Amino acid sequence: MASAFMPEQARVPPAVQSPPPPVSKFKIALCQLSVTADKERNIAHARKAIVDAAEKGAQLVLLPEIWNSPYSNDSFPVYAEDIDAGGGASPSSSMLAEVARSLHITIIGGSIPERAGDRLYNTCCVFGTDGKLMAKHRKIHLFDIDIPGKITFMESKTLTAGESPTIVDTDVGRIGIGICHDICFQELGMLYAARGAHFLCYPGAFNMTTGPLHWELLQRARAADNQLYVATCSPARDAGAGYVAWGHSTLVGPFGEVIATTEHEETTVIAEIDYSLIELRRSNLPLEKQRRGDLYQLVDVQRLNSG
């Protein structure tokens, strides 16, 4: 009877088989950084945190969303960098490239405001162990929220939405990248899983309203939905800032279990990712074979149009 469900048709085009991961286990570091108005300080501070994490055995380091700038529409244009130009035009990404190369680690560089022509983006850069830029994810879903008496913020006032999902093959596996509000959309996580991702990374800065309600819930949901690891990294909380981050950077396992997390202070979470758990959980609960392709489909428009 199960074959009548047509699980292979639940994803269009059909799901890509995950490639064998290049490592079976590795350590990931989530650097929950304090962020100030001093950009040079923020860059130097992030560099030190990355070096410290690498000294503790981290092979992959994840930084927070908007770690080089205050999180505000007034700040984004002032702190924005031309990532493609590199060098002095992008001191934040230049630092990440240099430290990835010198330490021979993979860095998912949280996000920074990016200037491209007359547009601004909220952008995550991924650097390989050779220091080269492997991928650049521009936040797809902009954070516009209005809860009277609680929080009002409109990223769309200054930022432009990205146009492409981002999946990248690194020395520690195939990674799907999202930024903060991207985690609210299960379709993106499902799309990454269908492209063979081993885990998902979401640098983010949930706030004091959405953080307690949704931050852990969404991480665990994306992990359980797709039976993948999910890693998140937030800035540390600054109660005096215009936008107050929730903190609580976390690693979630493929059964939706919290493997490692922290509170709101500045710290680095170091934890192990063991890929054998993905296989185990998928054999325990074979969601892939149970999908109802006869009733619903996830359509990956980008892959469909490139075929």
Instruction: State the catalytic residues.
Output: 65, 139, 180
Contacts of 265 (CB under 8 A, 6+ apart): 32, 236, 237, 247
C-alpha distances out from residue 162 to 120, 156, 305, Å: 10, 11, 18
Q: Please, is 69 exposed, middle or buried when counting C-beta atoms within 10 Å of its C-beta (0-12, 13-18, 19+)?
A: buried
Strands 250-252 and 60-62: unpaired
Residue pair 118/82 in contact by the 8 Å Cβ criterion: no
Place of tokens 């149970």: 290
Alpha-carbon span 69 to 65, nearest angstrom: 10
Q: Quick check: 7 and 288 in contact, CB under 8 A?
A: yes
Q: Which residues pair with 271 in a beta bridge?
A: 28
Long-range pairs, 262-269, Cβ under 8 A, ≥24: 262/30, 262/32, 264/236, 264/237, 265/32, 265/236, 265/237, 266/32, 266/33, 266/34, 266/236, 267/32, 267/236, 268/29, 268/30, 268/31, 268/32, 268/49, 268/52, 268/53, 268/56, 269/29, 269/30, 269/32
Q: State the virtual CA torsion across 128, 130, 135, 139 in degrees, nearest 10.
A: 60
